[in-house]
Amino acid sequence: MTSPEDNSFEQDGSAADGGGQAPIAPDPLDDLVILEAGPTAHDLGLELPEDPDEAQALLLRELSEARQEAGEQLEMLQRVAADFDNYRRRVERDQAENVERASQRVIESLLPTLDAFDAATMFEPQTPSEEKTREGMLSTRAQLLETLTREGFQPIPAVGEPFDPKVHEAVSGPGEGEGELFVDAELRRGYVMRGRVIRPSLVTVKHA
């Protein structure tokens, strides 16, 4: 006869062996990342001595030389970048100056026209026709000056202003007297462009 203990043993054994499959434990090597081997000393053109101390000294020396060379290359690149930046700024400045000089030449060629407008509008009209002509010239002159003003063109203040030899050219002396000199009359209008004197004003002066 078979005892209950024997039946229990057989049932447990059959459950373990044939009734079901026990879970498989994960392999710890499954998550292991295999790193690609880096370059060897031979790949870098180095022949390392067998002595570890000598090999370490050689590697340190090579590293120091490589870092020094990298620093020199970086310094050279920085100089090249600085030289290029200076070159770019110089080219931009030269281009701006060329444009300004070209604009100034055009405006200088218009000065006789402005002088003609000034002279024509100084006369008092005697007839309605002359008045109409004068108004037309004043309007044209104003439009021309408005266009030139957008380019930095400005007339130089003269009558009643303190005499400034930088922008005023006196054609007669003030005579006897003391005190500060002022512009008494303007004989020919002067102009500046972006702060640069294109033509000084011809003036007479007097003491204050």
- Tell whether 169 is covered by a domain: yes
Domain holding 186, by residue range, is: 153-208
- Identify the residue with better confidence: 16 or 188: 188
- Tell whether 172 is covered by a domain: yes
- Tell whether 164 is covered by a domain: yes
pTM above 0.75, yes or no: no
Query: Residue 7 pLDDT more than 80?
Result: no
Distance of alpha carbon 145 from alpha carbon 151, whole angstroms: 10
Going by pLDDT thresholds of 50, 70 and 90, the confidence category of residue 86 is very high
- Tell whether 55 is covered by a domain: no
**What is the tens place of the pLDDT at every residue in 101-123?**
888 888 888 899 889 888 888 88
Catalogue the E-assigned strands of the chain.
153-155, 168-172, 181-188, 191-193, 196-199, 201-207
- Tell whether 199 is covered by a domain: yes
- Tell whether 186 is covered by a domain: yes
CATH number, residue 178: 2.30.22.10
Instruction: Count how many domains the chain has.
Output: 1
208 with 180: CB under 8 angstroms? yes
Distance of alpha carbon 140 from alpha carbon 136, whole angstroms: 6
- Tell whether 160 is covered by a domain: yes
Distance of alpha carbon 132 from alpha carbon 203, whole angstroms: 30
**What is the tens place of the pLDDT at every residue in 28-84?**
545 545 445 566 767 677 777 888 888 888 888 888 888 999 999 999 999 999 999
